[in-house]
Structure 1
């Protein structure tokens, strides 16, 4: 039988990522970027949720919560991003590797409008400042199916 948790434990807290340098993030926690990586600067904030990749060797990924690409995986984190002996995303790893994992490439068209097309060698990191973490009051249990 699958474990469940009471609705009352779904109390969330919002924290600025830079202010929690040594914590574990769990599946179901949400990372809110200052702008949407696929739409570029000036777009509204975008929220991505941590999820477990079932059928793979205990890997966490991020998927978009709203918009055209909602429900699609955005990226899969490497094993070194996890805590020792637990399936979590460590904020210390996230802060250290931010400029390598959260990058995009944009250029302007003839009307000076930003468009998101990959340009070789022109990767820009998403702003870390203002990135929020929305999390549960306690980690989600490991579910067995």
Structure 2
């Protein structure tokens, strides 16, 4: 199932459930939409996370909040093992395998004092980009 929306009636962006993307590479410029904010909880509105490249660091990606009070702030920096072999991408297979570790509620702890994982259900991905070229700088 793909959800679509229209921007100014000109272009259509496609949102795909993360659960449907098993072995896909996500690139800088792609957006992950969580069904609610990890710091506010299930009563909040959806939050978009932009995948971006950290300049000045050796091939590292991060996820940045795009709207609201925390806009422009990173949610986290993705570890090297989240990337595809020989490419600067965020792999959906890594997201599926490590979701409960990296996507957690920051305000709620379980009985062992560990953050409670967010459900992956309702998480969408919008592909905005193509593979990033290798630049010789």
TM-score band (shorter)?
0.7 to 0.9
Contact 2:99–2:120 (Cα < 8 Å) also in 1 = yes
Structure 1 residue 137: Cα displacement: 5.8
What is the match of residue 46 of structure 2? 45
Q: Which moved more, 1:58-67 or 1:122-131?
A: 122-131
TM-score by length of 2: 0.82
TM-score by length of 1: 0.78
| Structure 2 segments unaligned to the other structure (5+ residues) | 1-10
Contact 2:15–2:126 (Cα < 8 Å) also in 1 = yes
Contact 1:32–1:45 (Cα < 8 Å) also in 2 = yes
What is the match of residue 98 of structure 2? 97
Q: Tell me if 1:82 matches 2:74.
A: no
Q: Which has the larger radius of gyration?
A: 1
Contact 2:18–2:124 (Cα < 8 Å) also in 1 = yes
Structure 1 residue 136: Cα displacement: 2.2
Structure 1 residue 105: Cα displacement: 3.9
Structure 1 residue 104: Cα displacement: 1.5
Contact 1:81–1:93 (Cα < 8 Å) also in 2 = yes
- Rounded to whole Å, the distance in 2 between the matches of 1:69 and 1:136 is 22
What is the match of residue 73 of structure 1? 74
- Rounded to whole Å, the distance in 2 between the matches of 1:88 and 1:99 is 20
Greater RCO structure (CA 8 Å; 6+ sep) = 1
What is the match of residue 59 of structure 2? 58
Contact 2:54–2:61 (Cα < 8 Å) also in 1 = yes
- Rounded to whole Å, the distance in 1 between the matches of 2:63 and 2:55 is 13
Supply the RMSD in Å over aligned alpha carbons: 2.4
> Structure 1 33/138 Cα, relative in aligned 2: closer, same or farther at 3 Å?
same
| Structure 1 segments unaligned to the other structure (5+ residues) | 1-9, 108-116
